């Protein structure tokens, strides 16, 4: 489960990641927007054989979020000056509102 803080209503996992024995081993929350840098996560489990202690923690979202690639990438090259202008839009994120928070690296494969 996740919530913005411990006292808020929790949202259950949307998509569980399962192991080879079909046990839930992870969770994917899609299209989540949280207005704070931290979010509250709660993991609980059940077993007919033993008690499983729950785990909860506030987590910095920027440390765990998997970003998409930059959007709308375009390249305009000219033969005369042998130069290119490459532009893009920042990736979508759940918590970063300013494009200046990102750093990019361009790898030129063919010159």
Q: Is the pLDDT of residue 95 over 70?
A: no
Question: What integer best gives the mean pLDDT of the chain?
Answer: 82
Tokens of 73: 């990438």
- Measured in residues, the chain has a length of 111
pLDDT at 65 over 80: no
Using left for φ > 0, alpha for ψ between -120 and 50, and beta otherwise, residue 25 falls in alpha
CB of 25 within 8 A of CB of 41? no
Q: Are 110 and 103 in contact (CB under 8 A)?
A: no
d(CA 33, CA 39): 11
Q: Tell me what pLDDT residue 9 has.
A: 84
Model confidence band, residue 100 (pLDDT cutoffs 50, 70, 90): low
Domain residues of the chain, as ranges? 2-63
Over residues 13-42, mean pLDDT? 85
Mean pLDDT score, 47-74: 85
Reported as a pLDDT band with limits 50, 70 and 90, residue 71 is: confident
Percent of the chain with pLDDT over 90: 16
**Cα R_g (the chain), whole angstroms:** 21
pLDDT at 60: 83
Mean pLDDT of 7-20: 90
61: enclosing H helix or E strand: helix 61-64
Q: Please name every residue paired with 11 in a beta bridge, in sequence order, or none if there are none.
A: 2
């Amino acid at each position: 489960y996740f919530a913005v803080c411990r006292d808020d209503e929790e949202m259950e996992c949307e998509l569980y990641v399962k192991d080879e024995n079909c046990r839930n081993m992870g969770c994917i929350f899609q299209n989540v927007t949280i207005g704070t840098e931290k979010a509250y996560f709660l993991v609980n489990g059940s077993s007919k054989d033993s008690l499983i202690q729950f785990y909860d923690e506030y987590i910095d979202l920027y440390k765990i979020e998997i970003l998409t690639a930059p959007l709308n990438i375009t390249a305009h090259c000219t033969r005369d000056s042998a130069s290119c202008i490459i532009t893009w839009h920042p990736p979508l994120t759940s918590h970063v509102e300013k494009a200046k928070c990102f750093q990019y690296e361009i790898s030129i494969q063919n010159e």
